[in-house]
Structure 1
């Protein structure tokens, strides 16, 4: 049985030099659709309401492709207070869902 916290390694892909290249993952917590006049009037301490609640899953993207969903959490122990994402669903690249 594999511990979910341990990354699974594909030995065929680990021989590639590309596996050590960093990639940027974007975490989308929600979207807002303000009118332009509302947007230009935003100032310090303004509140922009998103289409999601705190309990809703976030979406992880590489470029414009969603790769996973997860829940925002605060890291405990070493690095306490750091924002992290606990993955709840990894998108199947073969089927696209």
Structure 2
């Protein structure tokens, strides 16, 4: 079988995208929002141990768990991916 030439790089592969990490949602009434003060607690629909969701735009791309970096990036939040969504052909070259 002859060597095949390498596939040309997809021109979009170097375009940066913004990923949004969703840790939970809240649905307060506007009247409740207007009463919020410093140190108020806004309860979310998820627990600390629940997975977070990663989105590009409104497309779910993965789930994971929040972790705290160590070493030179100590204290920085990060996400350890635990599940990759089936993207089909929508985001892949």
| TM bucket normalised to smaller | 0.7 to 0.9
Unaligned runs of 5+ in 2: 1-5
Q: How many residues align?
A: 85
RMSD (Å), alpha carbons: 1.9
Q: From 22, 25, 38, give the equivalent of 2:32.
A: 38
Aligned CA distance change for structure 1 residues 95 and 17 (closer, same or farther; 3 Å): closer
Q: TM-score, normalized by length of structure 1?
A: 0.80
Shift of 1:95: 9.1
Higher helix residue share: 1
Residues in 2 aligned to 1:78 and 1:45: alpha-carbon distance in whole angstroms? 30
Q: Give the corresponding residue for 2:3.
A: none
Structure 1 unaligned segments of length 5 or more: list them: 1-10
- Give the Cα–Cα distance (whole angstroms) in 2 for the partners of residues 19 and 26 of structure 1: 19
Structure 1 residue runs of 4 or more that deviate by more than 4 Å after TM superposition: none
